[in-house]
Amino acid sequence: MAAWLGWVIESNWTDPFLFAVYSIVKPISGAAILVVMYGIVTQGNFDSALFPYIYLGNAFYIYVGAVMTGVSWAVVDDREHYKTLKYMYIAPIYIPLYLLGRGVARFITGSIAVFITLAAGILFLNVKINFAEVDWLLFFVTLILGVVMLALLGLLLAGITLTVARHEGFIGEATAGALYIFSGAVFPLDVLPEWIRPVGYFMPTTYWLELLRRSLVGNVAQAFPTLANFSNLEILGILLGLSLFFGAVSIWVFKVCDARARELGLIDRTTNY
């Protein structure tokens, strides 16, 4: 229900065509650019284990932009664009649940983009996935857990967005960009200087992407040393723990920001952007 409402609102662009372009074509073209760059840097070595590592990491990272950034954008959208946030606010609903509903809707559009990206990789780009060896249970458990985790991270950003006076749209994008680097999405964490790696180890997205890769292409993922010492179950445990931790932090941060927004009168504030 909340998801359906979220979906209708999410697709509520002046032009549905633009919406399709934005939510599907954009991530796919992002993947295409990555492939070209990879091709140039490695001189066409698509057989290396690094290629599926990068390709899958990037493909699933689409969810971060869709769900996490999407949830925080819902605040900007409703406040600035539709001018409905204050009416949502005075309604007897739990705002975080409504925002998470918006995240679920973004998950659906995101899935289309992820699916197309994966299909394109398998059909045209020689990304080898042996479907007989895929651990489907691990895959779906990880996927769902990850999406919930991303939606909760989005809630954290939504709270901050609520209290920030300017550049609020930037927060979601910037966080997504930072996570891209620190979560081992397109290169193993070992590439980063040692002192900064703990940031990556603290991010649930790191373990989420690793597990997704392992569930789809088991041995390829193990070729990289970052998390090789951990079993799938251990990583799942870490992911669950970090998700719970960040989830609790998010709900708390949202509550604090919410109170602060009421104090400062920011709930129906609009900038002229």
Give 150's contacts (C-beta < 8 A, 6+ positions apart). 63, 64, 67, 68, 103, 205
CB 153 to other proteins: min, Å: 25
Mark the segment that binds other proteins (CB under 8 A) among 12-20, 34-42, 111-119, 129-137.
12-20
CB 170 to other proteins: min, Å: 19
* Distance between CA atoms of residues 186 and 191, nearest Å: 11
Instruction: Please report whether residue 8 would count as binding other proteins according to CB under 8 A.
Output: yes
Under rule CB under 8 A, how many of the chain's residues touch other proteins?
28
Instruction: Please report whether residue 21 would count as binding other proteins according to CB under 8 A.
Output: no
Angle at 44 between CA 192 and CA 226, to 5 degrees: 25
* Distance between CA atoms of residues 49 and 223, nearest Å: 7
* Distance between CA atoms of residues 200 and 187, nearest Å: 12
- Nearest C-alpha neighbor of 70 from the set 100, 93, 95, 94: 100
Q: Which is nearer to other proteins, 134 or 251 (CB)?
A: 251
* Distance between CA atoms of residues 97 and 83, nearest Å: 19
Task: State the binding string over 60-99 for other proteins (x if CB under 8 A, else -).
Answer: ----------------------xxx-xxxxxxxx------
Residues numbered 254 to 273 that lie near other proteins (CB under 8 A) are: 259, 262-265, 267-268
CB 240 to other proteins: min, Å: 31
Instruction: Please report whether residue 13 would count as binding other proteins according to CB under 8 A.
Output: yes
CB 32 to other proteins: min, Å: 30
CB-facing half-sphere around the CA of 12: CA atoms within 13 A: 14
DSSP 3-state assignment of 225?
A: coil
Q: Tell me which residues touch other proteins (CB under 8 A).
A: 1, 5, 8-9, 11-14, 16, 82-84, 86-93, 165, 259, 262-265, 267-268
